[in-house]
Structure 1
Amino acid sequence: MTSGPIRSRAGRRCRKARNAHFTLVAMDENRRPVPVPVPVTDEEGHHWNEAGIRRDQRRSAP
């Protein structure tokens, strides 16, 4: 996380213009929604947990 004003690559001060929500849906070969697979390996579990932490941080941000 950064604090203070947001700066462009040219160093100019920027302001937030939009919010967006992006949703992914797991699909089978027939393009039907399917449950997201549960992490199997320790590495997958680590990534899954980190994603949950990032999601919680986004939800608690002003």
Structure 2
Amino acid sequence: MQDTVGRILKTLHGTEAGTWFWSCYEGGANGRVSTKDEAVFGVERAYTRRVVKADWR
């Protein structure tokens, strides 16, 4: 069983300083958002979509 499903990082330097990057290990979904809450939501949504196989055809 896997204990972690994704990663959330705050950008500290450069032109995107202060933004948040998220990625989901299952399926490789990722994004860059303004707040930590949005990053948490991104990981949760991406992982849920993989679990329920929402993107499978």
Instruction: Output the TM-score relative to the length of structure 2.
Output: 0.33
The TM-score with structure 1 as length reference comes to 0.31
Structure having the larger proportion of residues in strand: 2
Structure with greater contact order relative to length (CA < 8 Å, sep ≥ 6): 2
Q: Which has the larger radius of gyration?
A: 1
